[in-house]
């Protein structure tokens, strides 16, 4: 079928469906969809929202929900600011910020983010865990899983494992191990239409139905991964009833051990629309799911549903991993931290060597053998001929004050920009590995020889 698009560039069949569903509201909906509000979420692993408001280089307006979420105006380029490189915030759709808040991770819990790349919700979950517990962040696509790892590293997350697996293999491996599972599902991405030409091009009625079938399969895997009494949160960034209420209803019909959970109210959000399903498809509790419409709630639009397990019993206990880096490696890392850091934060945890890379394994991490693992924990560094070279991820997991004599730069100092471009900088101080910081927030490593700090900011991240 040839698809006709409108002036907005949205598929005609989509507009027709939404006009049928929303009636008079459709015009407001479509124009809001064309110009969705942009947002930024403060990384509370680094600083509090109040601290951020004091130093924010561009105007931000606090969102009513969740805490730490802000609306951005047109001024400034937040993605091109040294604070972004230092992981002070994540640029995120305002509606997307409500998803991890709805998941509600509690300190010390085990959380799985099943479809996590590029990491908007995973980095939010990590911030809510506050450095405790365990986050397993997964994405099936290898390049996207690497991007996910980079974002978790930029935001200084130390207690995450990144995997690149199918949901089914994760369920076979872990069993009912997790307190909470997020499925931010691959979907037809209708709320991305303004931003993504590919989302518009790839959309079709058949693709919507294909997505809905895949979502129900992924939810079935999520049900095997959550502990008895645990919570699954399911979200999409699309509006089709088939992928939202339809997928939620199909899941509950096929899994009588789950009920649709009540969620915190989000101002302006609407409950799920059971009336958009056929009578035979409807299930109890669909009104407790949330629809965030772009013309009513800041952001491009989301659907969120929670499923609470009603089963009793104990969580599954996967076999705990006993990391065992050779003694000489432990010594090399200990020597490095003793020489270049105040205190020895990486040694609070057990070390593992994979190839030439050294990782700090988060406490409570289960055995990961046979899984495709991108990061088994906090990447600390690389072994090079009996030498230990610290990783960028190690630096970003530290605070400026963890370093011996760190370089402290200001965000608008041309030297900061030179460092981010990969240039050597001239700052007198103690010889050897040094943390380079902006206002005390770590940007990366440098190595000082004389007055010159050689640049160890990763090539792939350098500013052009």
Ligand X SMILES: C[S@@+](CC[C@H](N)C(=O)[O-])C[C@H]1O[C@@H](n2cnc3c(N)ncnc32)[C@H](O)[C@@H]1O
Smaller CB distance to ligand X: residue 186 or 323?
Answer: 186
Query: Using CA atoms, how far apart are residues 344 and 340, in angstroms rounded to an integer?
Result: 9
Tokens of 358: 């050294």
Indicate whether 121 belongs to the interface with ligand X (CB under 6 A): yes
191 versus 289: smaller Cβ distance to ligand X:
191
Distance of CA 31 to the CA centre of its chain: 28
* 116 touches ligand X (CB under 6 A): yes
Strand residues in 387-440 grouped as ranges (E): 387-390, 407-409, 425-426, 432-438
Among 120, 156, 376, 403, binds ligand X (CB under 6 A): 120
CA separation for the pair 169, 245 (Å, rounded): 27
CB 92, min distance to ligand X, A:
7
| CB closer to ligand X out of 96 and 161 | 96
Figure out which of the listed residues 67, 131, 175, 186 binds ligand X, where binding follows CB under 6 A.
186
Query: For ligand X, which residue of 38, 63, 86, 117 counts as binding (CB under 6 A)?
Result: 117
| Residue from the set 115, 136, 297, 391 that interacts with ligand X by CB under 6 A | 115
Within positions 349 to 408, which residues make up the interface with ligand X, using CB under 6 A? none
DSSP 263-287: ----TT-EE--GGGS-GGG--TTGG
State in angstroms the smallest separation of the CB of 260 from ligand X.
Answer: 21
Residue 59 has a CB neighbour count (10 Å cut-off) of 12
- Residue 421 CA to residue 423 CA, distance in Å, equals 6
**x/- track of binding to ligand X for residues 306-345 (CB under 6 A):** ----------------------------------------
Taking CB under 6 A as the binding criterion, the range among 118-126, 415-423, 427-435, 456-464 that sits at the site for ligand X is: 118-126
Task: Please report whether residue 118 would count as binding ligand X according to CB under 6 A.
Answer: yes
Nearer to ligand X among residue 96 and residue 443 (C-beta): 96
| Interface segment toward ligand X; rule CB under 6 A; list 78-86, 115-123, 289-297, 409-417 | 115-123
186 neighbors 180 (Cβ within 8 angstroms): no
**Segment lying near ligand X (by CB under 6 A), choices 13-21, 51-59, 134-142, 434-442:** 134-142
214 to 243, contacts with ligand X by CB under 6 A?
A: 218
Subset of residues 71 to 110 that bind ligand X, contact rule: CB under 6 A: 96
Q: Does 167 bind ligand X (CB under 6 A)?
A: yes
- Angle (CA) 380 384 388, round 5°: 40
Among 139, 153, 190, 245, binds ligand X (CB under 6 A): 139
CB of 20 to ligand X, least distance (A): 25
**In the bound complex, what is the minimum distance in angstroms from residue 135's beta carbon to ligand X?**
12
Give per-residue burial for 136-148: e unless 16+ CB within 10 Å, then b.
bbbbbeeebbbeb
> For residue 326, how far is the Cα from the chain centroid?
32
Instruction: Calculate ∠ Cα 239-244-247, nearest 5°.
Output: 150
Q: Mapping DSSP to helix (H, G, I), strand (E, B) and coil, where does residue 289 land?
A: coil
Stretch that binds ligand X, among 135-143, 198-206, 261-269, 378-386 (CB under 6 A): 135-143
Give catalytic residue positions. Answer: 237
Q: How far apart are CA 57 and CA 73, in angstroms?
A: 12
144 binds ligand X (CB under 6 A): yes
Let me know how long the chain is: 464
Burial of residue 238 (number of CB atoms within 10 Å: 0-12, 13-18, 19+) = buried
- Return the residue matching tokens 């072994």: 383
Q: Which residue, chain included where needed, has tokens 């709320």? A: 191
DSSP code of 254?
H
List residues near ligand X by CB under 6 A. 96, 114-121, 139-141, 144, 166-167, 184, 186, 218
């Amino acid at each position: 079928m040839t698809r006709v698009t409108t002036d907005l560039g949205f598929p005609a069949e989509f507009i027709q469906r939404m006009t049928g569903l929303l009636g008079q509201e459709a015009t407001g909906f479509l124009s809001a969809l064309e110009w969705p509000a942009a947002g930024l979420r403060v990384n509370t692993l680094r600083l509090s929202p109040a601290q951020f408001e004091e130093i924010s280089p561009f105007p931000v307006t606090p969102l009513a929900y969740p805490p730490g979420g802000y609306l951005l105006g047109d001024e400034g380029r937040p993605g091109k600011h040294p604070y972004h490189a230092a992981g002070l915030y994540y640029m995120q759709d305002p509606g997307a910020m409500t998803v991890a808040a709805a998941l509600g991770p509690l300190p010390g819990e085990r959380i799985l983010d099943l479809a996590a790349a590029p990491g908007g919700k995973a980095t939010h979950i990590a911030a809510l865990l506050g450095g405790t517990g365990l986050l397993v962040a997964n994405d099936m696509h290898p390049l996207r899983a690497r991007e996910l790892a980079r974002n978790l590293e930029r935001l200084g997350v130390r207690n995450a494992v990144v995997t690149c697996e199918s949901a089914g293999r994760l369920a076979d491996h872990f069993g009912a191990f997790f307190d909470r599972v997020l499925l931010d599902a691959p979907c037809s991405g209708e709320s991305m239409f303004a931003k993504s030409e590919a989302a518009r091009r790839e959309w079709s009625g058949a693709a919507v139905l294909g997505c809905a079938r895949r979502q129900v399969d992924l939810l079935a895997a999520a049900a095997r991964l959550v502990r008895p009494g645990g919570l699954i949160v399911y979200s999409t960034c699309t509006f089709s009833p088939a992928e939202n209420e339809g997928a939620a209803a199909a899941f509950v019909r096929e899994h009588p051990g789950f009920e649709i959970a009540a969620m915190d109210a989000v101002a302006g959000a609407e409950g799920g629309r059971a009336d958009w399903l056929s009578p035979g498809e409807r299930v109890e509790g669909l009104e407790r799911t949330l629809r965030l419409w772009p013309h009513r709630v800041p952001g491009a639009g989301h659907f969120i549903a929670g499923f609470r397990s009603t089963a009793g019993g104990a969580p599954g206990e996967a076999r705990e991993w006993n990391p065992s880096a050779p003694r000489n490696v432990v010594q090399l890392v200990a020597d490095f931290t003793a020489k270049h850091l105040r205190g020895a934060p990486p040694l609070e945890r057990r070390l593992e060597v994979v190839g030439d890379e050294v990782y700090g394994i988060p406490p409570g991490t289960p055995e990961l053998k046979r899984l495709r693992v991108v990061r088994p924990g906090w990447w600390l560094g690389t072994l090079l001929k009996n030498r230990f070279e610290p990783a960028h991820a190690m630096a970003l997991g530290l605070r400026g004050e963890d370093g011996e004599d760190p370089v402290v730069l200001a965000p608008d100092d041309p030297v900061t920009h030179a460092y981010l471009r990969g240039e050597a900088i001239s700052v007198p101080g103690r010889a050897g590995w040094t943390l380079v910081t902006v206002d005390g927030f770590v940007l990366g490593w440098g190595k000082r020889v004389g007055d010159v700090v050689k640049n160890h900011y990763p090539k792939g991240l350098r500013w052009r």
